[in-house]
């Protein structure tokens, strides 16, 4: 779905991020959902280096994304996925156990998996070489390996977490990408799951749009 400057939905994203973050920023999630749902959207780009004061009235910590859908405004990517799915009646079953499964996996992705992967990014990149980071790394990698082992067992032989592809898979795939495919070497079913997600045309379109919006030169 091409970006439409006249679209009702607006997604706020950064106009530049360091190389290690390109393709991983959370605005990828609502972009991907819009692509899956066939919803046009427009971009509002802000500086990651000098976030405007007014933006903190929309996002208390100055993070991205923020989504506007007419008069509705949301500032958490998980809330955006729920909103977009319910808006269109797709990617989230309407009722019953099927809906409960998707919601459970959606929150599991954010609460059980993402915190460890973000901590790993901090240890391996932002705090690389610092004594405390080196001390934390072995235990953190063991915790992640155990978490991934359990996740693979829960996935089993299914293609997606809760039957049909859903917003839970948008969340989980974007989170697994933070660690990268190499971290999934001991969990081949999860690696295949990640590759299935990344192969979806809607994902490829969302990723291309995010990367196209990013400047190549670091702000002064």
Per-residue pLDDT of the chain (220 residues), as tens digits, is 779 999 999 999 999 999 999 999 999 999 999 999 999 999 999 999 899 999 999 999 999 999 999 999 999 999 999 999 999 999 999 999 999 999 999 999 999 999 999 999 999 999 999 999 999 999 999 999 999 999 999 999 999 999 999 999 999 999 999 988 889 999 999 999 999 999 999 999 999 999 999 988 887 7
Burial of 216 (0-12, 13-18, 19+ CB in 10 A): exposed
Residue 12 has a CB neighbour count (10 Å cut-off) of: 20
Burial 184-199 (b: 16+ CB within 10 A, else e): beebeebbebbeebee
Q: What is the 3-state secondary structure (H, E, C) of 62-96?
A: CCCCCEEECCEEECCHHHHHHHHHHHHCCCCCCCH
Residue 46 phi/psi, 5-degree rounding, is: -125, 165
Residue 193: its pLDDT value, please?
98
Burial of 87 (0-12, 13-18, 19+ CB in 10 A): middle
Facing residues of 9 across strands? Answer: 41, 69
Contact in structure between 110 and 171 (CB atoms under 8 Å): yes
Residue 219: its pLDDT value, please?
76
Residue 107: its pLDDT value, please?
98
- Before 112, cis peptide (omega within 30)? no
């Amino acid at each position: 779905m091409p970006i439409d400057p006249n679209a009702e939905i607006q997604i706020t994203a950064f106009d530049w991020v360091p190389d290690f973050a390109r393709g991983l920023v959370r605005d990828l999630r609502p972009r991907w959902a819009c692509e899956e749902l066939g919803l046009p959207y427009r971009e509002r780009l802000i500086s990651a280096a000098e976030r405007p004061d007014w933006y903190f009235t929309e996002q208390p910590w100055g993070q991205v994304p923020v989504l506007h859908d007419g008069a509705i405004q949301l500032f958490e990517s998980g809330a955006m996925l729920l909103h977009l799915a319910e808006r269109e009646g797709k990617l989230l079953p309407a009722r019953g156990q099927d809906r409960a499964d998707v919601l459970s996996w959606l929150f599991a992705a954010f609460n059980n998996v993402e915190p460890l992967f973000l901590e790993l990014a901090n240890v391996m990149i932002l705090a690389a070489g610092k004594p405390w980071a080196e001390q934390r790394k072995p235990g953190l990698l063991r915790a992640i390996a155990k978490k991934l082992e359990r996740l693979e067992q829960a996935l089993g032989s299914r293609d997606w977490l809760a039957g049909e592809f859903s917003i839970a898979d948008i969340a989980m795939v974007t989170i697994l990408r933070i660690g990268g495919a190499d971290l999934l070497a001991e969990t081949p079913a999860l690696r295949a799951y990640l590759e299935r997600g990344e192969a979806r045309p809607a994902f490829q379109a969302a990723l291309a749009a995010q990367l196209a919006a990013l400047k190549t030169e670091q702000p002064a």
